[in-house]
Every structure is written in C-alpha cells, then in structure tokens.
Amino acid sequence: MAVIAEPVAKPISRFRFVLDRRDVLETVMVAPAILYVLLLVGLPLLLAVFYSLSAYTIYNPTWKFVGLANFEQILQNPTFLDTLRNTFVFTFGSQLLGLVLGKFGAFLLLQPFPGRKIVRALIILPFAVPVALATIAWQWMFDSLYSVINWTMIAAGLVTREEAPNWLGNPYLAMLCIIIINAWRFFPFAIVIFLAGITAVPQDVIDAATVDGAGFWRRNYQIILPMILPMVAIGLIFGIVFTFTDLSIVFLLTMGGPGGATSVLGFEGFQTGIVSGDVAHGAAISLFMLPVLLVVVIFTLRFIRRREI
C-alpha cells in the first residue's frame, strides 16, 4: 500500500493574513497616491493660502495675519482685472482653437493614406517638444524684423514691409499669437482624445445611422460627437487647468507686453511673488485661479455624469 505523504501546511504569516483583507489591501495600494497628492498638491496649496493671508515678503518674512487685505488690494487694481480677462481669453481661445484643430486632425488621420502611421507619430511632436524650445521657434516666426510669416507674405506680394503685421507689437495680434502657440501645443492631445473616442464608437451604430440616411455632418455632430463628449470633456478639463495656470509662453514670448495686453494670472503671480519678492500678493494673485478652476471642473464633471451612457 502506497503511503502518500500529506502536505505539511506552512504557517501563514501574520503579514499575509493582514494583506488578505480587502479593505487593508485597498488602503495600502491607494496610500502612495493619496500621500503624493497631499504632499505635492495639498501642502503647497495650504501654504499658498497661508501666504495670501499674511504680510510675507522676502524683504520681511513675517507671518503677520492680514486677513483678506491682499485680495482687496489686488481687486482695487484696474490692471488686475485686465489680467483676469486676458487669462480667460487666452485659456478659452486656445482650447477652442485646439479642439477645432484636434477634431479636423483626427478626421484626417482616420482616413487611409500612405504614410499615415508616420504622420500619426509626428503629429504628437508639438506635445513632446519642450515649451521653451517651441516658444523660441515661434518667437522667430513672429519676430518684427525676421518673421518668416511676414517674409513669405512680402515675397508673395500680399503686403509691403510697412504693412506687414506687427505680431507681438499689436495688443490683439500678440494675444492671438500666444493663443496660436498654446493651441499648437494642445492640439495633438486633442487629436489623440478624438481618435480614441471616434474609434471607440461601435461601427454598427454608424452603419445604422448611414442606412437611416444620416449624412457626414449628421453622423458626426448628432451621433459621434454626443457619444464621445464625456471623453472630450475630460481632455478639456486638462487643457483648461494647464492653460489657466501656465506662464511659460507669456514669460518666454511677450513678458506680458505690449502694454500688459498678454499678462495672465500665472505670469503676474510669478512677477509679483518671486521676481519682486512680495510672496503674499503673489500667492493671492495665484489663488484667484482656484475658484475659477473649481467651478469649471465641477461643472464639467457634472456634465459628464449626466451624459454617461
């Protein structure tokens, strides 16, 4: 008679037993992310709130509480309201242009053509190029003396040198320039979002709509777009948050000029808080972004929840 050895049960370690509990494991897995957010987002935010309510400057680093005096002083400055308006125009202008370009780009890249894969890889370049390099390249394109855009227009006989647009010297054109650059940076991201959304729409839905007589525009704007809207909205939240808080393009291209026409909140906060050393005012200027972004995010997330299929 064969004797089969019974397996000896190994003692289960206490650690393994604890990790077998679902709630504990969940907490352990989520903890790094929560810690990350608390340390790198929560703490600086709290610090910014403290700064904005204090009289803290680099000259006199005091935590003396001044209540809402910093906010009051900022609101009394008419230039600040211009800055706030510029920030809205810059953010929503560039997002709108980026979305339109993204939608067209996605449609183009859905069509089969030779080298499509290479084009799809290249289209992501503006998103991957460091902002400093990209902005310097754009600066040369908008340069008052050596603008390649103006040079082309002059060579084509469209304008004379005197009539050529003064891209960064005209307040409206300067705003348009920073919008174009930001839209150029954002549109590859929009293309990716649109491509992912459009390819996720079931083919039978599109076929059914085609059989029912829906043409190109109706299919796109009454079938596909409503279905991918939640995904686009998430992309838009990213775009708005990053643009609203951005100062790099303005800092590198216009320094807020001409005459303050392109000064945005991020730039103003940096100039006041870091360059001029008035940390409390700089923090207060930066915190003006918070309620705006909060409203945008809440509104968009509620919209997405309602639209979820």
Partner 1 sequence: MNRNNRMRIGRRRFLKQAGLTLIAAGSAPMLSTPFVSRAMADTKTLSIVQWSHFVPEYDKWFDQFAKDWGTKNNVEVAVDHIPVANVAARAAAEASAQSGHDLFGWNGAGGAHLYRRFLVDVTSLVEATEKKYGKVSTIGRQIGYNQDDKTWSAFPDFYISFPAMYRKSMWDEIGMKPDTWDNVRLGGAKLKAKGHPVGISLGHSNDPNTTWRGLLWSFGGALQDAEGKNVVLNSKETVEAVKYVTALYKEAMTSEVLSWDDSSNNRYLVSGIGSLIVNPISAYRTFQKANTKGADDTFVIAPPKGPVRQIMGGASEFYGIWKFAKNKEGAIEFLKYYADHWPEAFKASEGYNNPCFANLVPKPMPILSNDPTSTPSDKLTVLQDSEQWSASPGYPGPSWPAVDEVYNDFVICDMMAKAASRQMSAEDSVKWAHQQSDAIFKKWHEKA
Backbone torsions φ then ψ of 163, nearest 5 degrees: -85, -10
Question: Nearer to partner 1 by C-beta: 166 or 199?
Answer: 166
Q: Shortest gap between Cβ of 184 and partner 1 (angstroms)?
A: 19
Minimum distance of partner 1 from residue 271's CB (angstroms):
5
**In terms of CB distance, is 239 or 256 closer to partner 1?**
256
Q: Which of 168, 179, 247, 287 binds partner 1 (CB under 8 A)?
A: 168
Closer CB to partner 1, residue 226 or residue 259? 259
Of residues 39, 255, 297, 298, which one binds partner 1 by CB under 8 A?
Answer: 255
Residues 245 and 85: their CA atoms lie apart, in Å, by 14
Nearer to partner 1 by Cβ, of 188 and 269: the residue is 269
Closest CA to 83 of 257, 204, 216: 257
Interface with partner 1 (CB under 8 A), residue from 275, 305, 306, 308: 275
User: What is the Cβ-side half-sphere exposure of residue 102, based on CA atoms within 13 angstroms?
Assistant: 31
Binding residue (CB under 8 A) for partner 1 from 98, 235, 256, 269: 256
Interface characters, 135-164, with partner 1 (x: CB under 8 A): -------xxxxx---------------x--
3 state SS for 49-104 = HHHHCECCCCCCCCCCECCCHHHHHHHHCHHHHHHHHHHHHHHHHHHHHHHHHHHH
Q: What is the dihedral of CA 109, 112, 114, 116, to 10 degrees?
A: 30
Residues comprising the chain, all counted: 309
Chain positions 58 to 97 lying near partner 1, rule: CB under 8 A, are 58-61, 73, 76-77, 79
Residue 167 near partner 1 by CB under 8 A:
yes
Alpha helix ranges (H) inside the chain: 14-20, 22-37, 43-52, 69-76, 78-110, 116-122, 125-128, 131-141, 148-155, 171-200, 203-211, 216-218, 225-244, 248-253, 265-270, 279-287, 289-307
Q: Residue 70 Cβ, how far from partner 1 at the closest point, in Å?
A: 9
Q: Which is nearer to partner 1, 163 or 207 (CB)?
A: 163
126 is an interface residue for partner 1 by CB under 8 A:
no
Over the window 278 to 307, marking each residue x when it contacts partner 1 by CB under 8 A and - when it does not, the resulting string is x--x--------------------------
Which residues are bridge partners to 277 per DSSP? none
73 vs 245, which CB is nearer to partner 1?
73
Cα–chain-centroid distance for residue 137? 21
277 near partner 1 (CB under 8 A): yes
Residues engaged in binding partner 1 (CB under 8 A): 55, 57-61, 73, 76-77, 79, 142-146, 162, 166-170, 174, 251, 254-260, 270-272, 274-278, 281
